[in-house]
Amino acid sequence: MLNFKALMCLVFSLSAMALRAEAGTGLEVTEQQAIALFYQRNLNLIAANFNINDAQAQEIIAAAIPNPVFSFTVSSLNPNMARQPYNNAPLPAVSPQIQQLIETAGKRRLRIESSELATEAVSLDLKDTARVLTNAVRRSYYSLLLAQKVAQVASDNFERFREILRVNAIRLKVGDISATDFTRIEVESLKTQGDQDQAKSALNQARADLLLLLGWPENSLEISAVETWPEAKPEIAKAGQNQLAEQALVRRPDLQAARVRIEQAGKMLTLANRLAIPDVTVSAFYQRDPGNFFTDSGGVGISVPLPLFYRQEGEISKARVGLSSAELALKQTEQGVQAEVMKALAAWQSANAIALRFETAVVNRIETLRKAQEIAYQKGAVGLLDLIDAERNYRAMMLDYYTALANRSNAWADLLMAYGEEVKL
């Protein structure tokens, strides 16, 4: 659970977000705020889908003690009673009786324990779904962040060509450049405008996708992501594949749910075997018979079914199959988890290496090269085509860089999901 200080910071942060939205300045969220909004607006729907309330109701049913059965019998009825004088009429015999079923061999206790395990498994299923959907929120958030970066690059590129076009329009008037070169600049400017329009469309689509996951918070059509890419946690990023796989086998809620279901299946098998032991019905009665020598009498009785022909073989066989299926499901899930961790770690390491290569060797150089080409063009050292080519290369390289950052972020989100990062519900 979040500590008090962190919880208060989150509350104030969400309140500030709401105030900014009401003021019409848009909704700017961090990754953690987006996840918090998702839990706040969608968690009840997730819980309903997993029938937690139904599982809790099954606990009540399993713990119920059988109700006693009351019966009331009137006997010794004489058809001549109505024709005889009232004072001489024999009164009928009355016999109230009560019966109580007593379950033997701890069957009720086994049912209670099994239902409690079922509720625990359903709760773990909820956490597992939250784990998967948290990854979906993260990926959607990174898609929005990438779309913002692409839109910014397209806007900067468009503004740069507008300035180049303005300067060269002056040069055209004084005959410093040819009409053909100016036309090339115009065409390139139109391309950058088209790129800007496409980037805006992609940005709106990314916003809609994130808002759909967040349940469309009020006044949030202008939602934007804080431009900060996630940082890798050293304890995960520097861990080896075997270490991460071992930790995932312990942390993952789907594996925890599978283990709980094996325990539940074991309880059900034990219960099926215990069903062969008969339950006992205890009864007690009181009889008042005015026509008998003993007017008042009573008695107790015990009834037990005799398991001579059927000893719950079908139920035992079904429970045994259920236990085997649960054990097989656990093994399959364990293998799947190990494969997920292996693939996610390899994908993150590759994406991280590419992003680091951009950050250390490409971004600064491509920026320097572009500025050098602009200065050289202004001094007449290079031609217009060299300038356009430099601008194109810069745009393409920056888009590749931001795509690499988004790929690394998505790979990190997938690694967290495979690893089984704890979800704060």
**176 vs 70: CA distance, rounded Å:** 112
What does the pLDDT read at residue 45? 67
pLDDT at 4 over 60: no
pLDDT digit string, tens, across residues 65-102: 999 999 999 887 766 655 555 555 567 888 999 999 99
Could you report the per-residue pLDDT of 258-293, keeping only the tens digit for each?
999 999 999 999 999 999 999 999 999 998 877 777
Q: Which CATH number fits domain 35-64+107-275+312-419: 1.20.5.440, 3.40.630.10, 1.20.81.30, 1.20.1600.10?
A: 1.20.1600.10
Convert 137-170 to b/e letters by CB count within 10 Å (16 or more is b).
bbbbbbbbbbbbbbbebbeebbebbeebbeebee
67-102+277-310: what fold? Answer: Outer membrane efflux proteins (OEP) (2.20.200)
Q: Where are the alpha helices (DSSP H) in 23-106?
A: 31-49, 52-63
Q: For 378-415, what is each residue's pLDDT tens digit?
A: 777 777 788 888 888 888 899 999 999 999 999 999 99
Are the C-beta atoms of residues 407 and 355 closer than 8 Å to each other? yes
- Identify the DSSP state of 1: -
Question: Cα–Cα–Cα angle for 327, 331, 337, nearest 5°?
Answer: 140
Question: Which of 35-44, 336-345, 352-361 has the largest mean confidence?
Answer: 336-345
What element of type H or E holds 299? strand 296-303
Domain ranges of the chain: 35-64+107-275+312-419, 67-102+277-310
Confidence band for 19, pLDDT divided at 50, 70 and 90: very low
- Residue 36 is given by DSSP the state H
Residue 80: per-residue pLDDT: 61
DSSP letter assigned to residue 291? T
Structural contact between residues 333 and 262, judged by C-beta atoms closer than 8 angstroms = no
Residue 104 tokens, joined: 């033997």
Looking at residue 18, its pLDDT comes to 43
Residue 425 CA neighbour count, 13 Å, CB half: 16
Query: What is the reported pTM?
Result: 0.80
Strand spans (E) along 66-220: 69-75, 93-102
Within 10 angstroms of residue 195's Cβ, the number of other Cβ atoms is: 19
Between residues 220 and 151, which one has the greater pLDDT? 151
CATH topology of 35-64+107-275+312-419 equal to that of 67-102+277-310? Answer: no
Confidence of residue 218 (pLDDT cuts 50, 70, 90): low
